[in-house]
């Protein structure tokens, strides 16, 4: 036998008023943009390349050397935020 209180609670959580009051806060666009700018600046500072013809490159100790394009940096920044 189902208790009436349980059914009342369930319908209360499904009501539009409850969902509106308890929805997660909207993402702060200014904070996101500032975070992206900070990450972008840090990536550019970290991956400056000294090879002729390259501006920014990813290089590791194993000798991997990959030129970074604007699109690849943007993808990297978006993944960080």
Read off the pLDDT of each residue in 3-19 and give the average, rounded to a whole number. Answer: 54
Better-scored residue on pLDDT, 41 or 2: 41
44's CB contacts (< 8 A; 6+ apart) are 56, 73
pLDDT of the residue at 42: 92
Confidence of residue 39 (pLDDT cuts 50, 70, 90): very high
Q: Is the whole-model pTM more than 0.75?
A: no
Residue 58, pLDDT > 60, answer yes
pLDDT of the residue at 41: 93
Residue 3, pLDDT > 70, answer no
Average pLDDT of every residue of the chain: 76
Separation of alpha carbons 5 and 47, rounded Å = 60
């Amino acid at each position: 036998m189902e208790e009436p209180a349980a059914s009342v609670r369930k319908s209360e959580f499904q009501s539009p008023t409850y969902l509106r009051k308890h929805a997660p806060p909207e993402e702060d666009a200014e904070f996101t943009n500032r975070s992206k700018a900070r990450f972008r600046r840090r990536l550019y500072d970290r991956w400056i390349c000294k090879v002729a013809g390259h501006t920014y490159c990813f290089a590791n100790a194993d000798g991997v050397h990959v030129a970074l394009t604007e699109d690849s940096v943007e993808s990297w920044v978006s993944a960080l935020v």
